[in-house]
Chains A and B, each alone.
Chain A
Amino acid sequence: GAVVSQHPSWVICKSGTSVKIECRSLDFQATTMFWYRQFPKQSLMLMATSNEGSKATYEQGVEKDKFLINHASLTLSTLTVTSAHPEDSSFYICRAYGGTSATTDTQYFGPGTRLTVL
């Protein structure tokens, strides 16, 4: 079946540094990539939506200058957390979406990236 990968699976960084997380769709073309953040014992909260070749659309309350999203190809999207702070520590998950029909849509989540900011 379709697979979406994320790299790295976990990362620990110092406060003030930037961290890049990659999301790849391995066997289908993802026209849209979604980025979610999940705090412990909570549900997934959508951060932003990105379409290949265009600027990402951010959800209300998400700082676009802090969470930089690039979707340069149909198989790769990156999320860069700039000047990370401890409150940015979370589980970041991407969802790759490709399709035009409700019954043939392909949409799969990545395995997630655990970010810990010291």
Chain B
Amino acid sequence: GQQLNQSPQSMFIQEGEDVSMNCTSSSIFNTWLWYKQDPGEGPVLLIALYKAGELTSNGRLTAQFGITRKDSFLNISASIPSDVGIYFCAGQRGGSEKLVFGKGTKLTVNP
């Protein structure tokens, strides 16, 4: 099935650095979601975006819904070791309950 283009595939950073990852699509989505998945667990919702141009924060996390509705980015500021995990973006079209996922960004934070 369709997947979103998520980049980078992996990141290795030092504790305290900022992180940025993004997702793009060739088609429009009405909702963008960002999830974090720890090993052996289900994804946990970090931020949900519902309007084009919307910028939403959740603690050190900030995400934006692109104006074209075809992209979104997630920023993590001042990373800490517990930020380690795989981050997935997901898009949802209007009238559909299905989610289309990116392939994930694996984040490693070195103390």
Q: Which residues of A contact B (CB under 8 A)?
A: 4, 6, 32, 34, 42-46, 49, 59-60, 91, 93, 95, 97, 102-103, 107-112, 114
B97 interface neighbour in A32, A110, A111, A114, Cβ under 8 Å: A32
Are A42 and B103 in contact, with the CB atoms below 8 A? yes
Residue B101 CB within 8 A of the other chain: yes
Decide: A46 and B41 in contact? CB cutoff 8 A: no
Given A42-B103, A43-B104, A109 and B43 touching (CB < 8 A)? yes
B98 to A46, Cβ gap below 8 A? yes
In the A-B complex, list the 5 residue pairs whose CB atoms are closest, starting with the nearest: A109-B42, A112-B42, A111-B42, A43-B101, A43-B103
Task: Tell me which residues across on chain B come within 8 A of A103, comparing CB atoms.
Answer: 50
Q: List chain B positions with a Cβ less than 8 A from chain A.
A: 1, 3, 30-31, 35, 40-45, 50, 88, 92, 94, 97-99, 101-104
Bound form: Cα–Cα A59–B43 in Å: 21
Contact across chains for B43 and A93 when beta carbons are under 8 A apart: yes
Q: Are B101 and A44 in contact (CB under 8 A)?
A: yes
> Taking CB as reference atom, which chain A residue is nearest B102?
A43
Q: Evaluate contact between B1 and A59: CB separation under 8 angstroms.
A: yes
Closest residue of B by beta carbon distance from A59: B1
* Residue from the list A43, A59, A108, A114 in contact with B45, Cβ < 8 A: A108
CA A49 to CA B98, docked complex, whole Å: 8
A44 contacts which chain B residues (CB < 8 A)?
A: 43, 88, 101
Q: Given A42-B103, A43-B104, do A60 and B1 touch, yes or no (CB 8 Å)?
A: yes
